[in-house]
């Protein structure tokens, strides 16, 4: 099992490294312009010239998938950075100050958690309009609550520990204690959650784009590509299948990476593996 996680972790790192490389060098690797329509070449089967075939407008699917990595990684990482930052600041404040601050922040968290996440994202886009900026805003509004809760409970667990008392008695300011003593203790669990989140955010972005409410055409985004493929499902199922494989690969890689980091950081798992298994 431990070996399984280790193998998965290595595979995930390799996959993500490959994805980053592909995203950075998409311009050189993609054989065609991802947005160039060629009506005479529509819905061609995979060939040497078009490795994954062409879509309903004659655009190269392989090139679109390669360029799609950029969009998905950008949305996933940017949304997670913003929402974890918001969640961290509010979570530390709630846990550290307690009282009214805590009550207020946590009731807001509860209110946001009262909406099923995708419906909240849908409502934000429904009122504010579709497009990549509102898509990211909607995903941030859904994502930040998890970090706030996690950070708050970690801070509460740290409260009253001797090293914090010591820092306080030496005259350290609240800000100093929070940034120098509390933050380093929060980062490991935050890192695990953030890594796992990147996968879910990418999945959410793809779902909303699939509904036509996220990234707008002709930008190559995987969910939007699958939306385009709907009318041709009967005759050209491959056009639907390829972008799905891309999404699954990326999300799987981030999930494995998150699990891997969790195992690396959690001494409980490490101890477990040295005992071996009873069965």
Residues that bind another protein (CB under 8 A): 1, 4, 107-108, 110-120, 122-129, 199, 203, 206-207, 210-213, 223, 226, 233-234, 237, 240-241, 243-244, 247-248, 251-252, 255-256, 259, 277, 279
Q: Which residue number, 32 or 223, has a Cβ lying nearer to another protein?
A: 223
Q: Which residue number, 178 or 203, has a Cβ lying nearer to another protein?
A: 203
Residue 15 phi/psi, 5-degree rounding, is -60, -45
Residue 183 has which token pair? Answer: 């933050």
**How near is the Cβ of 107 to another protein at its closest, in Å?**
5
CB 228 within 8 A of CB 207: no
Which single residue is written with the structure tokens 């985004």?
Answer: 221
**How near is the Cβ of 38 to another protein at its closest, in Å?**
25
Question: Which residues sit opposite 60 in a β-bridge?
Answer: 54
**How near is the Cβ of 223 to another protein at its closest, in Å?**
7
Q: Which residue number, 108 or 158, has a Cβ lying nearer to another protein?
A: 108
**How near is the Cβ of 211 to another protein at its closest, in Å?**
6
Residue 279 has which token pair? Answer: 């069965």
CA distances from 177 to 149, 165, 277 (A): 20, 10, 41
Short-list 120, 112, 114, 124, CA closest to 86 = 112
The C-alpha atoms of residue 179 and residue 120 are separated, in whole angstroms, by: 32
Question: Which residues sit opposite 54 in a β-bridge?
Answer: 60
Q: Which residue number, 20 or 128, has a Cβ lying nearer to another protein?
A: 128
**How near is the Cβ of 28 to another protein at its closest, in Å?**
29
Q: Which residue number, 22 or 108, has a Cβ lying nearer to another protein?
A: 108
């Amino acid at each position: 099992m431990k070996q399984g996680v280790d193998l998965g972790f290595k595979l995930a790192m390799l996959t993500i490294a490959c994805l980053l490389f592909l995203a950075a060098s998409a311009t050189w690797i993609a054989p065609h312009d991802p947005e160039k329509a060629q009506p005479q070449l529509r819905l061609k089967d995979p060939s040497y010239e078009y490795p994954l075939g062409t879509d309903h407008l004659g655009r190269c699917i392989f090139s679109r998938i390669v360029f799609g990595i950029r969009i998905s990684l950008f949305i996933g990482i940017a949304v997670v950075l913003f929402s974890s930052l918001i969640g961290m600041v509010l979570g530390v404040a709630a846990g550290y100050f307690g009282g009214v601050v805590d009550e207020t922040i946590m009731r807001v968290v509860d209110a946001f958690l009262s909406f099923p996440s995708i419906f909240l994202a849908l409502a934000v886009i429904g009122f504010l309009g579709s497009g990549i900026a509102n898509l990211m805003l909607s995903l941030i509004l859904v994502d930040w609550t998890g970090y706030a809760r996690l950070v708050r409970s970690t801070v509460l667990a740290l409260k009253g520990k001797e090293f914090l008392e010591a820092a306080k008695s030496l005259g350290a300011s609240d800000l100093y204690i929070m940034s120098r003593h509390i933050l380093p203790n929060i980062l490991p669990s935050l890192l695990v959650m953030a890594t796992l989140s990147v996968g879910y955010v990418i999945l959410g972005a793809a779902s909303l784009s699939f509904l036509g409410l996220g990234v707008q055409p002709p930008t190559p985004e995987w969910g939007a590509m699958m939306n385009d493929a709907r009318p041709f499902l009967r005759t050209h199922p491959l056009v639907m299948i390829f972008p799905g494989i891309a999404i699954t690969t990326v999300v799987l890689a981030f999930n494995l990476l998150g699990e891997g980091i969790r195992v690396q950081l959690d001494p409980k798992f490490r101890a477990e593996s040295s005992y071996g298994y009873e069965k």
